[in-house]
Structure 1
Amino acid sequence: MADQQGTTPPPPYEYPAGPYQAGTAPPPELQEYPTQVYAPGYGTDQSVSYPAQQYPVQQYPASPGYGNKEKTPLVGPPPHGVVQQNTIIIPAQNIVWGRHPIQTVCINCQNTILTEINYITGTFTWLIGGIIILIGGWFMCCIIPFFADSCKDVEHKCPHCHMHIHTWNRL
């Protein structure tokens, strides 16, 4: 879109020979970028200068076994008079308890288990039964929540040692 005032055409797109193919962009080092103009006080204004920060050189002591001539044994018997103890490490678990059996580690027998579940009557069961009575639960409809597992709390037990692990409450 040249205007009528007689502007000059753009320079030809000739690039020095290189590993790139014709019709593609030149490598970044051959591309020309426009110069940017900044407002005074911003960018490349020469009147503003900041002192260069000097960081102290840190020296670290040599660690044993890294570059030292003396080699220390890494494996061997414990020193005289030291009693070794076996430590059982139980990994932290983010358990999401619910109405379904879950896989966990029993705190009593230390086995990896899939919990055994039992449905027990809880606060939510009594609350639903009471609401049915208040609404006008005719013909003994208020006892329905006591027979519906979806209204009961869930008790998780170990299938091996039968220890109670957790109770999941609906409320």
Structure 2
Amino acid sequence: MDATMENKMGLPPPYEQMPPNPAPPPSYFGNNPPQPVAHPRTVVVTPGSENRAASNVPTKMGPGPTGTSCPTCNKSIVTRVDYVPNNRTHIVSAALCVLAGCCCGCFVPYCMKSCKTANHYCPQCKAFIGSYLPS
């Protein structure tokens, strides 16, 4: 078969031998590349910084006000709790609406704290502390 016959049959042209990859360029540093320089680190320790590192560990939050230490203002507090609806609240509401056959029961989960997420805030500095997701 010749090349014109291959083209008429829709076959691809034969592959040609490719030249080998070119050699990499010479190194700018020759045979002695520069070594990384280790700079000494300075650590500044201030009074109370040891406690601040430990206070970043999240504490377990409950469904109600919880006693803890605020990581922002470093005061011992009892958290202020705001209850907000979550996906579980909406799903339970929709299920009650479908099962009950009317819309009267769908408002019940929005009145129950056990179906909502409890967001905890510091009463002093108003910082967000954490949240409790009902199981």
Q: TM-score range by the shorter chain?
A: 0.5 to 0.7
Q: Gapped runs of 5+ residues in structure 1? A: 1-82
Rounded Cα–Cα distance in structure 2 between residues aligned with 1:109 and 1:94 = 15
| 1:100 pairs with 2:64 | yes
Matches within 5 A, 1:101-116: 101-116=65-80
Which of 139, 142, 147 is the aligned partner of 2:106?
Answer: 142
Query: Are the aligned partners of 2:68 and 2:78 in contact in 1 as well (CA < 8 Å)?
Result: yes
Query: Are the aligned partners of 2:63 and 2:134 in contact in 1 as well (CA < 8 Å)?
Result: no
Can you list the C-alpha shifts for 1:7-32, whole angstroms capped at 9, x where unaligned?
Answer: xxxxxxxxxxxxxxxxxxxxxxxxxx
Greater helix content: 2
The count of corresponding residues between Structure 1 and Structure 2 is 89
Matches within 5 A, 1:13-162: 85-90=46-51, 91=54, 95-162=59-126
Runs of 4+ aligned structure 1 residues displaced above 6 Å come to none
Rounded Cα–Cα distance in structure 2 between residues aligned with 1:119 and 1:158 = 15
Which of structures 1 and 2 has the bigger CA Rg?
1
Aligned partner of 2:13 in structure 1 is none
Q: CA deviation at 1:108?
A: 0.8
Aligned partner of 2:23 in structure 1 is none
Rounded Cα–Cα distance in structure 2 between residues aligned with 1:168 and 1:131 = 23
Give the fraction of aligned pairs with identical amino acids, expressed as a percent.
Answer: 24
- With a CA cutoff of 8 Å and minimum separation of 6, indicate the structure with the bigger relative contact order: 2
Q: State the AA in 1 paired with 2:124.
A: H
User: What is the RMSD computed on CA atoms of the aligned residues?
Assistant: 2.2
Moved more, 134-143 or 85-94: 85-94
Query: Are the aligned partners of 2:97 and 2:103 in contact in 1 as well (CA < 8 Å)?
Result: no
